[in-house]
A and B are shown apart, each in its own frame.
Chain A
Amino acid sequence: DAMVIQNPRYQVTQFGKPVTLSCSQTLNHNVMYWYQQKSSQAPKLLFHYYDKDFNNEADTPDNFQSRRPNTSFCFLDIRSPGLGDTAMYLCATSQGAGANVLTFGAGSRLTVL
């Protein structure tokens, strides 16, 4: 089945220790997104890639970066996690700019101690 896979599902890190979350997709979608979702809140877009074009949201902290080495993979790097970065990180994909459907991965739950 075509899908979006995120690893790891759970990650515990210490304050300031870099962490990388990965996302892979077999849908061959050209747009990949990273959302941050804190407890009982709506998902909040951090950035997206349209093919190789990177688009950062204005309020995404500089601490958060992303890489997309090919169509199938996308990474979220948090350079110096703070306690406030504890959240679920959701990867999603869509086909094209005007897609009305996002396909999400199961998420990576990050806890910063």
Chain B
Amino acid sequence: GQSLEQPSEVTAVEGAIVQINCTYQTSGFYGLSWYQQHDGGAPTFLSYNALDGLEETGRFSSFLSRSDSYGYLLLQELQMKDSASYFCAVRDPNTGGFKTIFGAGTRLFVKA
């Protein structure tokens, strides 16, 4: 089966940098995605890594190491509005890639 592990909670202060880790176990691999979800809201896509290395999009960066089955989301210059849950996700190769499996989510608290 496919599984993902990420910390349940992370707390950081405004202006700081925070890293949210994700390790995965899959029988095949299409890449690692990250989604942000504010309380009561819908998940929104943040980033996708298919190859090893760092992808940067503004204040957010995402890293992947396929040999370690590991990735992380890096948030810089934290703002209060970044308080949300962050999910890493992979596509299940057993379903032809249709099924996206999400980790349990990391709840980020940003303090003033």
Chain A residues within CB distance 8 Å of chain B: 31, 40-43, 45, 48, 50, 55, 57, 90, 97-98, 100-107, 109
Let me know if A106 and B41 touch, CB within 8 A: yes
Chain A residues within an 8 Å CB radius of B40: 107, 109
- In the complex, the chain B residue whose C-beta lies closest to that of A88 is B40
Interface band, chain B = 20 to 34
Give Cα A90–Cα B41 distance, bound, in whole angstroms.
10
Contact of B102 among A43, A50, A57, A109 (CB under 8 A): A43
Give Cα A41–Cα B98 distance, bound, in whole angstroms.
20
Chain B residues within an 8 Å CB radius of A109: 40
Contact of A100 among B48, B102, B103 (CB under 8 A): B48
Within 8 A of A (CB), among B58-112: 87, 91, 95-105, 107
Dominant secondary structure at the A interface = loop
Give Cα A50–Cα B99 distance, bound, in whole angstroms.
11
19 A–B contacts, CB within 8 A, in A order = A41-B104, A41-B105, A43-B87, A43-B102, A45-B99, A45-B100, A45-B101, A48-B99, A55-B95, A55-B98, A57-B99, A90-B43, A98-B30, A102-B100, A103-B45, A105-B42, A107-B41, A107-B42, A109-B40
Give Cα A103–Cα B35 distance, bound, in whole angstroms.
10
Chain B residues within an 8 Å CB radius of A57: 99
B15 interface contact, C-beta 8 A: no
- In the complex, the chain A residue whose C-beta lies closest to that of B91 is A100
Give Cα A106–Cα B38 distance, bound, in whole angstroms.
11
* Contact of A101 with B98 at beta-carbon distance under 8 Å, contacts A42-B87, A42-B104, A42-B105 already known: no
Contact of B42 among A41, A97, A104 (CB under 8 A): A104
B7 interface contact, C-beta 8 A: no
Let me know if A102 and B43 touch, CB within 8 A: yes
Chain A residues within an 8 Å CB radius of B102: 42-43
Most buried by B among A42, A48, A55, A104: A42
